[in-house]
Amino acid sequence: MSTAPAVVEPPRLRRARRAVAACFFLNAVFYAGLVPRLPAVKAELELSSTALGAALAAVPLGALLAGLSSAALNRRFGSGRVASYGLALLGAVVWTVSVAPNWAALAAAFLVVGALDAVVDVAQNAHGLRVQRLYGRSIINSLHGVWSIGAVTGGLLGAAAAGLDVPLPVHLGVSAVVFGAAALVVSRGVLPGSDEPEPVAEAVPRERPRRRAAVPALAVLGLLAGCGALIEDVGASWSALYLRTELEAGAAVAGLGFVALSAAMTVGRLTGDRVVDRFGESRVARAGGALAAVGLGVALAWPSVPSTLVGFALAGLGVATLIPAVYHAADELPGLPHGQGLMVINWLLRIGFLVSPPLIGVVADAASLRVALLGVVVAGVGALVLGRALPGRAVR
């Protein structure tokens, strides 16, 4: 026997939306602020590039180890509290990177950073989707857009601190205190209680077959999320190298590939909710996959710096709403409590981000980076085909 979702007064609901948006912003700020300071970490511990890379690999490893615990934590404490208090703890753990005395301590710090980031990521998305259900319309894309704004903000703050030669422990310490305090304030705005509106205990025996039926759906959604991960990672990891080595662009221009993809993705996410409400997630995801495939496909067929920048921008715009749509579809799978499908997809997505860079690298070494970037075209076609698994109608 199910019950209707609790009624939340509009002012309280708007407050919850602002709170969860703040969680997305803070989540991005913490790690993005560290990225421009990685050279300082490398120099302080006198690490080789290989050693630093091995330490950084602990981030996705920690995420994979802890990611599958997030649903249980959300059920026990509530996704809003897990997200907000987890963010305050994340800031403190990021600070420990600055005081690590050796490689082992650094790798351990990165391991915990990755674990906490995975738990917070699932919690904030679960809470955002809970607020979205109460709104009755899509808001998840704008929340991911706020995350992108937070990433840019954190990166700029980190770059400014590096340029001013602010000691790393001071920089990350101030970040932990200021943004950690903000996370604690945010905790007062999130919705209390469980994300699951139905009393599920009575229905568990009847839902076992439906849970088994959810497995192939999760597999398809995982592949769809992997398509989005590959497109995002190519822009982040390989666009500058492609522009620099294959098209002989200058160092400053080479960095614009990532900027083009990120800026277009941010715009697409901030405006994507209205589009999704009107056309449905399936149509938007499939059109986005086609846009990414055609955009970068044309740029690779007729390579030039301008066409490549436009191609990466189109890829970013096309993939903007894909991962939020997959999260929403997984969270609404019949037979699974809210948050469980989301947890599985988040875990599979992190495997995609872990596998994508070496996969592109192997193809680039075997053929060329231009051939390897055809992976974006393949991923776009994959989104076009697999996008049928997403809801065909808007959230409303």
Do the Cβ atoms of 29 and 153 come closer than 8 Å? yes
Please give the model's pTM, rounded to 2 decimal places: 0.85
Domains and CATH numbers, the chain: 10-186 (1.20.1250.20), 206-389 (1.20.1250.20)
Residue whose C-alpha is closest to residue 75's, from 340, 302, 282: 340
> Packing angle between helix 281-301 and helix 256-279, nearest 10 degrees?
150
- The widest CA-to-CA distance across the chain, in whole angstroms, is 65
Do the Cβ atoms of 383 and 306 come closer than 8 Å? no
Q: Is the dihedral of CA 175, 180, 185, 189 positive or negative?
A: positive
Distance between CA atoms of residues 222 and 282, nearest Å: 15
> Packing angle between helix 58-67 and helix 103-135, nearest 10 degrees?
50
Q: What is the pLDDT of residues 128-168, one digit of tens each?
A: 999 999 988 889 999 999 998 988 888 888 888 888 889 99
Distance between CA atoms of residues 120 and 81, nearest Å: 10
What per-residue confidence (pLDDT) applies to 253? 81
User: Would you tell me how many other CB atoms lie within 10 Å of the CB of residue 190?
Assistant: 25
- The low-confidence residues of the chain, meaning pLDDT below 70, are 1-6, 196-211, 392-396
Torsion from C-alpha of 12, 186, 143, 67, nearest 10 degrees:
-120
Do the Cβ atoms of 136 and 142 come closer than 8 Å? no
Percent of the chain residues past pLDDT 70, beyond the cut: 92
Query: What DSSP string runs through 158-177?
Result: HHHHHHTT--HHHHHHHHHH
CA distances from 227 to 143, 202, 224, 250, 378 (A): 21, 38, 5, 30, 8
Residue whose C-alpha is closest to residue 118's, from 70, 180, 150, 81: 70
Joined tokens for residue 15: 């407050």
What per-residue confidence (pLDDT) applies to 361? 82
What residues have CB less than 8 Å from 215, skipping those under 6 apart?
none
What per-residue confidence (pLDDT) applies to 4? 47
